[in-house]
Amino acid sequence: MADLQLEQRLHNVSRCLEENSLTVSSYVGYVMSSKKLALEKSSLAQQAISICEIFYSYLPSRPSITSWALNIAQDALQQDVSNLAQVQQ
């Protein structure tokens, strides 16, 4: 019974997004770039790791998540090297 209720609620959310011409990605992007919506932004930020873990555990999206994480790590390391080079000058 609980699974059926959850499925219905998820269907309602999906329908609401569709009726408002939103995707999950566009919703997240809008919330995170908004100067308002602090509560929504905080909620999404707190769930970011969990969301990434869910996508990583879903095998079809694992390569994309792995590639994304490696690119983020590479960018962070490049920025650190750049910052260290500037400090030494």
* Same domain for 72 and 53: no
Tally of structural domains, the chain:
2
* Same domain for 75 and 45: no
* Same domain for 50 and 20: yes
Q: What per-residue confidence (pLDDT) applies to 3?
A: 82
Q: What per-residue confidence (pLDDT) applies to 1?
A: 64
Tens of pLDDT along the chain (89 residues) come to 678 889 999 999 999 999 999 999 999 999 999 999 999 999 999 999 999 999 999 999 999 999 999 999 999 999 999 988 888 87
Domain that holds residue 44: 1-57
Q: Could you give the count of Cα atoms lying within 13 Å of 72 in the half-sphere of its Cβ?
A: 6
* Cβ proximity of 48 and 57 under 8 Å: no
* Same domain for 67 and 79: yes
* Same domain for 10 and 27: yes
Give me the phi and psi of 58, to 5 degrees please: -90, 105
